[in-house]
Structure 1
Amino acid sequence: GFHPADIDRINNREKWLRLFIEYNDLDLKKALTQLWDTCAWRKSFGTNDLDASKMHQEYLHEGFMFPKNRDINGKRLLIFRSKLYVRGTKNMDDVKRLLVYWVERVMYREEDLDQISVFFDLKDSGLSNMDMEYTRYIINLFKFYYPNSLNFIIIFEMPWILNTTFKIIKTLLPAKAVARMKFVNSKTLNEFVDESNMLTIWGGNE
């Protein structure tokens, strides 16, 4: 059986069901299949029982991934500081668990199932900071288990050396996700994040 918290969500949270239905363009059969698969994954992954004490403490606090502030539509930002993540130096299972923990904590526990925006800060990053295994995991997580959950995918200050990498990433994304990708720099970021929500490293006040 599924986790009691997810059964309760199915019975009492129409908002959760609507995420699956809208993502599947009102195809109820597809939505139900995805919901079933999601509940099975949530049970096996233990999503409802994740808390900070179960995370790799160094990863939790070193600042390569964290939620902070909001986008222009009031949606919480989940920020990835790419230059602080070097491919091959971290335990992949722990990094994956940390991602799920933050999505669960922000979207399910703090924001009442509201969408979030994923912010990839690529300033000063290079090829060693790009991890295709982890990137695929992020894409599949939102594609299969957190449908219709992203407001924007903000790509900040992408270096030219990563152009080819991002062309590959685009081919992995569903069309709906590609439409939400916004490539910005310090001059255009305010189209998606206002100054009061910008970190100082992006030219803001936070």
Structure 2
Amino acid sequence: MAAGGTKIKPDCQENVESLREALKKDSDMGEQIKDVPDKALKRFLRAHLTVPEAHKVYVKCEKWRHKYGVENIKPEDPAIQSELATGKGIVLEERDKDGRPIILVTVQLHDTKNRDMEVLTKFTVYMLETLSKLSDQGEMDNICVLFDMKDFSLRNMDYQFVKTLIMLLQRYFPERLGVCLIVNAPTLFSGCWLIIRPWLDERTRKKVAFIYSEEELSQYIRLDVLPRKLF
């Protein structure tokens, strides 16, 4: 039944092998699938819950990665350098308390009216790929995204980018998000959240936590690993 459309247990080794065998038979995948670790296949099974759906999405994802040139995006790329220079998204040296790599996003440094969506998307793909590779080095194969909302204003609210980020995570980096911490969200953001929340599936919504104190934040991250005080 697991090989059909019935929902399965994603971490069951039998289902992982069923997905691997299906991908081996796919003309678009061939022998390369033998080098893919089990935990990568489990992420697709957790996200899509049936072997056929996980198979279909995995193949689409690999085609997109090749077409977009994910492996060829380097930090020396001028587009990446320009975004890194803003400091609005930085990967921390330390991990969260569950062993996830952390990206700190300083929202006030983003100006919706002064950004190139193509460049920003490329930068986001680069950062997600960087974080994914870091997560593969540890036991936890997902990431921690920390949004610092201090001094947030509506000029920072970029709905198009939020939609793009959600799309990338759902389609091409499934189950990579472990936890999303939204720190210092002002009352102004509550209206924005009412718009954003329905765009997230239930599984993703459960990964979002609003943080309003150092005590709350310290449940997820050691405060001394942060580059600055957030409160």
Q: Same-fold call, TM > 0.5?
A: yes
Q: Counterpart in 1 of 2:220? A: 192
How far apart are 1:58 and its partner, in Å? 2.2
Counterpart secondary structure, 2:229: helix
Matches within 5 A, 1:121-200: 121-187=148-214, 188-200=216-228
One-letter identity of the residue aligned with 2:75: A
Q: What CA distance in whole angstroms lies between the structure 1 residues aligned with 2:145 and 2:201?
A: 15
Q: Counterpart in 1 of 2:132? A: 107
Q: What CA distance in whole angstroms lies between the structure 2 residues aligned with 1:30 and 1:55?
A: 37
Counterpart secondary structure, 2:185: coil
Q: What CA distance in whole angstroms lies between the structure 2 residues aligned with 1:183 and 1:22?
A: 25
One-letter identity of the residue aligned with 1:72: K
User: Given the superposition, is the C-alpha separation of residues 191 and 107 from structure 1 closer, same or farther in structure 2, using an over 3 Å criterion?
Assistant: same
Q: Does 1:201 align with 2:201?
A: no
How far apart are 1:2 and its partner, in Å? 6.3
Q: Counterpart in 1 of 2:45? A: 21
Q: 2:77 aligns with which of 51, 54, 59?
A: 54
The structure with more radius of gyration: 2
How far apart are 1:15 and its partner, in Å? 1.9
Q: 1:96 aligns with which of 121, 129, 138?
A: 121
Q: Counterpart in 2 of 1:71? A: 96
Q: What CA distance in whole angstroms lies between the structure 1 residues aligned with 2:66 and 2:28?
A: 6
How far apart are 1:70 and its partner, in Å? 2.0
Q: What CA distance in whole angstroms lies between the structure 2 residues aligned with 1:100 and 1:2?
A: 23
Percentage of pairs with the same residue: 22
User: Given the superposition, is the C-alpha separation of residues 156 and 2 from structure 1 closer, same or farther in structure 2, using an over 3 Å criterion?
Assistant: farther
How far apart are 1:197 and its partner, in Å? 2.2
Q: Counterpart in 1 of 2:17? A: none
Give structure 1 regions of 4+ aligned residues with deviation exceeding 4 angstroms. Answer: 1-4
RMSD: 1.9
Q: Does 1:40 align with 2:68?
A: no
Q: Which has the higher contact order (CA 8 A, sep 6+)?
A: 1
Counterpart secondary structure, 1:182: strand
Q: Counterpart in 1 of 2:108? A: 83
Q: What CA distance in whole angstroms lies between the structure 1 residues aligned with 2:29 and 2:132?
A: 18
Q: What CA distance in whole angstroms lies between the structure 2 residues aligned with 1:149 and 1:136?
A: 17
8 Å contact kept, 2:108–2:156? yes
Counterpart secondary structure, 1:74: coil
One-letter identity of the residue aligned with 1:60: L
8 Å contact kept, 1:82–1:122? yes
Q: What CA distance in whole angstroms lies between the structure 2 residues aligned with 1:173 and 1:160?
A: 21
Counterpart secondary structure, 1:43: helix
One-letter identity of the residue aligned with 1:23: A
8 Å contact kept, 2:107–2:149? yes
Give structure 2 stretches of 5+ with no counterpart.
1-26
Matched length: 198
